């Protein structure tokens, strides 16, 4: 999560959606930079709005350019599933090692905050901040340069960071599993289709 008072932008960091790469690329422009989940890296817009309500003393809410990245739900869940195969999660509740994907879609997703619908991360229940531009991760390479240009940032390089292991691929999912994901996360698919864009 990034807040720049000088550049008047807020980056809302979604999980498994290039947040580490974006923070690495433009984090130097932010006066507030939370890079660890335990400190609020992945706070949604409501939490950001609540924790940092003081920013209005310096910049009116409506002047902030607020952006984030949303990902196709099937790809998002696959990345979560694959990421939690890492040895660092062995023996922990969030480990998916040895877990069938159908079981992951059931109990794991039901108990994990990480599997909540993505679109909720970009809504401010306090009504203070509003998402300006929501990037579709599939279009990140095309859209991110425009974001940087809008922020007056030149020569920004976006590298790959914190990639998930390639345990299960989209082609490995059955039609029934993809349909189940669509049913569970229809609101996210709708959000991608109708995402706010100003660039």
**Full-model pTM:** 0.93
181 phi, psi to nearest 5 deg: -60, -45
Catalogue all structural domains in the chain, each as residue range(s) with its CATH number.
Answer: 2-189 (3.40.50)
pLDDT digit string, tens, across residues 104-122: 999 999 999 999 999 999 9
pLDDT digit string, tens, across residues 1-31: 999 999 999 999 999 999 999 999 999 999 9
């Amino acid at each position: 999560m990034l807040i720049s008072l000088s550049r008047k932008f807020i980056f809302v960091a979604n999980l498994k959606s290039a947040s580490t790469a974006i923070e690495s690329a433009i984090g130097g422009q932010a006066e507030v930079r939370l890079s660890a989940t335990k400190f609020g890296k992945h706070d949604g817009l409501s939490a950001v709005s609540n924790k940092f309500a003081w920013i209005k003393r310096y910049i009116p809410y409506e002047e902030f350019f607020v952006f984030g990245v949303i990902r196709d739900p099937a790809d998002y869940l696959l990345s979560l599933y694959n990421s939690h195969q890492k040895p660092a999660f062995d023996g922990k509740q969030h480990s998916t090692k040895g877990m069938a994907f159908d079981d992951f879609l059931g109990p794991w997703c039901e108990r994990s905050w990480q599997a909540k619908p993505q679109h909720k991360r970009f809504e401010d229940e306090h009504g203070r901040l509003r998402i300006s531009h929501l990037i579709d991760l599939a279009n990140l390479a095309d859209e991110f340069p425009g974001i940087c240009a809008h922020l007056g940032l030149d020569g920004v390089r976006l590298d790959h960071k914190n990639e998930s292991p390639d345990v299960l691929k989209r082609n490995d999912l059955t039609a029934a599993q993809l349909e189940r994901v669509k049913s569970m996360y229809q609101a996210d698919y709708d959000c991608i289709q109708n995402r706010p864009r100003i660039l």
